[in-house]
Chain A
Amino acid sequence: MGIQAIILYASLFITLFFEVFLLITYLEVKEELGFEKNHVGKNITHFPSVTIIVPCFNEEKTLTETVKSLLNLDYPKDKLSLVLVDDGSTDGTQLIFKKFASHPQVRTLTKENGGKHTALNFALESISTDLVGCLDADSFVDKDALKKIVPYFQDEKIMAVTPSIKVHNPKSFLQHIQKVEYSWGIFLRRMLSSLEALYVTPGPFSIFRLRVFKDLGGYNMGHQTEDLEMALRMQKNRYKIVNSSYAHVYTVTPEKFYGLYKQRVRWTYGFLNNSLDYREMFFNKKYGHIGLFVLPIGIISIFTSLYIVANLLLSFTSKVLNSFAKFRAVGFGSSFELPSFDWYFINTGTLPIITITAIGFSITILVLALRLSEGKAKFSKGVLYYLSLYGFIVPFWLVRALFDTLFRKQISWR
Chain B
Amino acid sequence: MVDSKKYIVAFLITLAIFATAVYMSNIFTQKKLDDVRDIENRVALDILSSETQFALLEETSCKDISPGFLSKELGPLGEKLAYAENQTSFNKDDVDYLKRSYFLLEIKDYLLMKSLTEKCGNKPTFILYFYSSEKDCPDCEKTGYVLTALRDKYPDLRVYSFDYNFDLEAVKTLTSIYKVEANLPALIINNKPYYGYKTTLELEEVVPELKLLKTAEETATSTESNQ
B13: which A residues are within 8 A, CB to CB? 20, 24
Q: Is B178 an interface residue (CB 8 A)?
A: no
A257 interface residue per 8 A CB criterion: no
Tell me, rounded to whole Å, the shortest Cβ–Cβ distance linking A9 to chain B: 8
Is B28 at the interface (CB under 8 A from chain A)?
yes
Q: Is the CB of B89 within 8 A of A349?
A: yes
Is A329's beta carbon under 8 Å from chain B?
Answer: yes
User: Which residues from A are CB-within-8-Å of B148?
Assistant: 330
Selected interface stretch from B16-24, B102-110, B162-170, B214-222:
B16-24
User: Is the CB of A21 closer than 8 A to any CB of chain B?
Assistant: yes
Does B37 touch A at the CB level, under 8 Å?
no
Nearest chain-A residue to B4 (Cβ)? A292
CB atoms of B7 and A293 under 8 A apart = yes
Q: What chain A residues lie within 8 Å of B201 (beta carbons)?
A: 331
B7: chain A residues at CB < 8 Å are: 21, 292-293
Q: Give the interface residue-count category, chain B.
A: 35 or more
Majority SS at the chain A contact face? helix
Asked if B10 and A350 make an inter-chain contact with CB atoms under 8 angstroms apart, the answer reads: no
Closest Cβ of chain B to A314, distance in Å, is 15
Check if A344 is an interface residue, CB within 8 A of chain B.
Answer: yes
Contact A21 B145 (CB under 8 A): no
B41 CB-CB contact with A under 8 Å: no
**By the criterion CB–CB under 8 Å, are B25 and A285 in contact?**
no
Q: Interface size on A (CB < 8 Å)?
A: 32
Q: Is B69 an interface residue (CB 8 A)?
A: no
Q: Interface with A: B52-60, B80-88, B121-129, which one?
A: B80-88
Contact of B152 with A by CB under 8 A = yes
**Does A333 have its Cβ within 8 Å of any Cβ on chain B?**
yes
Checking A325, A344, A345 against B142 with a beta-carbon cut-off of 8 angstroms, the contacting residue is: A325
List residues 307-357 of chain A with CB under 8 A from any CB of chain B: 322, 325-326, 328-331, 333-335, 344-345, 347-350, 353-354, 357
Which of B11, B24, B146, B153 is close to A329, meaning CB atoms less than 8 Å apart?
Answer: B146
Q: Which residue of A lies closest to B83 (CB)?
A: A345
Q: Which residue of B lies closest to A18 (CB)?
A: B10
Contact, CB under 8 Å: B22 / A350 = yes
B91 contacts the other chain (CB 8 A) = no
> Across the interface, do B145 and A326 meet the contact criterion of CB distance under 8 Å?
yes
Q: Measured between alpha carbons, how far is A13 from B1 in the docked complex, in Å? A: 26
Residues of B within 8 A of A329 (CB): 142-143, 145-146, 149, 199-200
Structural contact, A349 and B80, CB atoms closer than 8 A: no
Is B32 an interface residue, CB under 8 A from the partner?
yes
Q: How far is the CB of B64 from chain A (nearest CB, A)?
A: 32
Cβ contact within 8 Å between B21 and A353:
yes
Give chain B nearest CB distance to A125 CB in angstroms.
Answer: 38
Q: Is the CB of B14 within 8 A of A328?
A: no
**Is the CB of A288 closer than 8 A to any CB of chain B?**
yes
For B89, list chain A residues within 8 Å (CB). 348-350
Residues of A within 8 A of B (CB): 5, 13, 16-17, 20-21, 24-25, 285, 288-289, 292-293, 322, 325-326, 328-331, 333-335, 344-345, 347-350, 353-354, 357
**CB-based closest 6 A-B pairs:** A348-B28, A330-B149, A349-B89, A353-B21, A21-B10, A329-B142
